[in-house]
Every structure is written in C-alpha cells, then in structure tokens.
A and B are shown apart, each in its own frame.
Chain A
Amino acid sequence: MAVGTMPAKTRSVQRTKWLKLQVYRYVVFALAGIFFLVPLGAMFEFSTRGNAGQRTLEYWRSIPDYPDLTTAIIASLQLALITSLAMLVLLVPTMVWVRLKLPRLTRIVEFICLLPLTIPAIVLVVGLFPMYLWLGTNVSDSILTLAFAYVVLVLPYCYRTLHAGLGAIDVKTLSEAARSLGASWFDVMWRVIVPNISNAILNATLLSVALVLGEYTIANNLLYNNLQVELVHLGRDNAGVSIAVAAAALLFAFVLLIAITFVGSRRRRLHPESEGITGLGVGPVQGSAG
C-alpha cells in the first residue's frame, strides 16, 4: 500500500515506532559518548588544573622540556610507522598469494597469525628476551628493533581486518583479469588489489598504530623507553605532564580514526560494492598487552 493511501492510524503507529527508535539511538549514542568522553574530559581537566585552582596549559607547554619524553614520543611514532609498514608488506602479499595459489594453507596462516592473541604479553617477553639480548649485542640496541616484536603483536588484529577486506572482493578474478591485460604481479598488487582493499589497509594500519602507541609491557620488560614507559616514569615525577601526553596520544588516535572514517565514507560513496570494513572504532590501546 502506498504511503499516501495509508490509514491515519497506521501512519501514527509507524511514526511512534520511528520516534521510539530515534530516542533509543540517541540514548545509546549519548551513553557511549559519555563512556568515552568522561575519562578524556577528566584527563583534560587534570592536565589543565593550576595550583590555585585556575586553568592553565602549563603542563601541555612543558612537554617539550622533557627530552626523554620527546625522544620516547618520537621513538613510539617511528615504531608505529615501521610496524605498520612491515605488517602490510608482510601480510598483504602473503594473504593474497595464499588466496590465489595456496588456498589449502589458509587455515595454517590464519592459525599462525592469530596465535599471538593466545600468548600473554609477559610470556612473549620471556620468549623474546634471549633474542633481544643477542640483537642488542650483535646488531643494534636501538629501540626501533622493538618493531620485530610489535609486528608479531599486531598480526592477529591486522590479519582479521585484511581478511575481511580481501573477502569483500573477487581477488582471483580481478588478478587474472589484470594478468591477462599484461600486469606483472607487482602491478596486480599495487594497482588492483591494494586500491580495492584500501579501507581494510587503513583500518589495519590504525590498529597497528593504536597498539604500538599503547604498548607498555614488552618495551618495559625489554628495558626500552617508549611512550607508555616514559609516561609511567613521568607520572611519578610530574603527573600533570604525564596525563597531558596521554591525552595528546588519545587525541592523535582519534584524529586518525576520524580521518580513516572520512576516507572510508568517501570511498563508499564512490564504490558502494567494494568497501572493506570501516570505522572499527578503535582508539589507542592504552597499556595493551600489559
């Protein structure tokens, strides 16, 4: 029945239902907002609290005055970048190749990638310690070597995200079409597969960045000073600066998330059938694996 010919009573019932649904949506949205924003607000409140009760940005301004902190921030950002790149370089071609050429290995690759989920971070550290001891002595004791451990740490999350992205496209047909048109395997990956799973890649990158920025246990136990370790140290000396940096890290992750959601929604408007998963709603994982 067309809406115009619907009886007034039916329309009224439908409108009431719609209103109830809208109210329910807003209530859920508000509760979720409060859940996320109250701690963030409390962090801002604390990090802008002056001695005499006035508001001040003193703690925020003094962040650069702590050289260890800025070094740790830079190291964590570098680690986030290296980990994300290494994860993508390792995982995307492997997953595509397994789908195309070795589908019988799918379960094994999945098992290996998800394995780190089941290993507590502290156990991982015990296993990694001798390797890092050797690395520190024979190769480099740079904090950037933590990227090896972090690639393992982010594997399960990124595997799942990329798996969903690849599942949304017909990898085999697209690859074969590209090959028949003269594309090398590199071109197939770079010009055909990657653009069509860009949302999944962005999400996997976001997860990697969030995990690395929030990682504490491995760095602390392997005696490296990353952002989270430095925040804990700083928290003992100057809690205000420590919270300001933590709030800044959260903001950074939120900005990343919004950027990815924006890119994702723009892509969805252009290619509604080729979307991967977007908007996982992942913030920085504070003290993850810890």
Chain B
Amino acid sequence: MNEALLAVQEVTKYFGGLKALDQVNFEVNTGEILGLIGPNGAGKTVCFNLISGVYGASSGRIVFNGRRTDGTAPHQVAKLGVGRTFQIVKPFASLSVLENVLVARGIARYPKLSKIWSSWKSRSEGQKGLKMLNRVGLADLAHRKAGLLPLGNLRRLEIARALTVGTRLLLLDESFSGLRHEEITNLETLIRGIRDDGITVLLIEHNMRVAMGLCDRLVVLDHGHKIAEGPPGAIQQDERVIAAYLGRKGTKDAA
C-alpha cells in the first residue's frame, strides 16, 4: 500500500438544490481493494459517476494516476485504464457474450478514425476475448446472446468487459447484489484474484459481510458526507457508522 492511484479531493456535487456529495475526500492506494459503503442515498453511485466522468464535479478535484480527470468524458476516462460496472446491469443485450467483451477490446482503436475499419472477427481477437471470459467463468456461454443470461452471469460479463478496459482501476458497483450464496463466494475469489494481478479495485457494496471480508479499507458515506474511513475492524466499531446504519440509540425506541 504505497502511493494513491486515485484521489478524490474536496469533491462536492449538486443536483439543482440537492447536495449529493459534500466536500468528500478519499484516496485509493495502488493494489488495494477499497470499499465504498453507506446507507441508501449516501452518494456512493454519484461518486462512481464522478470518477468515471458521467458527471462533472460542482467543485473539487479528482486525480487519477497523477492526472486531473474531473470533467473528462467517460470514454476518455475509460481510455486511461478505468473500467466500471453498473448497479443496474447494462449488457449489450442483442450481442453475444463474446461480442460484449470484444467491444471492450476495441478501446485502443476507437479514438483513431483510421483504426476502426479493420475486422474484429479475427481468430486472435476471439481467442483473447475467450481468455477473458474464461477468467470470469463464462467461456462456455461465449456464443449465447447476452440478453438471455441470468443476473449472476451478467454481473460476471460486466466484470469481464470492465476488466478488459480497466487495466489499472476497476470500479464495481454492487456486483454482489442479487447473487446466491455460492455465487458470492466465487465472485469474492475472482475479485481477490484481480487484485493479485495488480489491478486496484474500488467497490460499492451493501452486503456488510462481503464488504468486511473482502476490502482492505472502507470509506463510509452518509448523506453525501464521508463519516469514516479505515480498516473493516475499526469501521465495525465506529459509533458514527453504527448510528448511520441503525439510527442513534434512544431516538426511535418508541417505534
């Protein structure tokens, strides 16, 4: 755990009069798994959308790999090696599973008009795509239509796509939600493997057991504020975190 790969500095985001994020600060260190947790509406996904360039920040800075990226368009952020998944899965439904991954493999070509005319249906591209699918355990379903896959497989497919793009930083938005118990265990193993390959992971998670077990550090958001940051053990004991999730002692006992 050495220098920061991603730094979110004093970031504030307004939607009209609503302050979704208020002066949020945190850093993601190279090679760690950092969990972003917090109750519903805390601003976690807003934070992801700011990092991946979907929104611009109202104020503050986002620095990725020594370079300021707030205000950079999503496709340019992706080009820097940041891959992401979506809370509500967004497969390219009418394309095959393999084609979904191949779309991501084109990332180096898309910015150059001269490079987009060659064929993607080559054997070597197909094999590289299959290799990536193999890694997330979807190789058997390569030629199935993506829209027909069940949720667990779609989440893996999104990870395969994001991993193809996110050679440095992977943003996982609630990849565990809606999964069965064994699927959760498999996905945990996969994410640890990704980290061991040198890819930094920032993930949003609602399942506390998963977040505590998987993450090296946690950042807790509540109503747009960062209320705590630290290793899972310390977060579990943090009074502000407990209050944010369960409510303060004595305030709602009557109910």
A and B interact physically: no
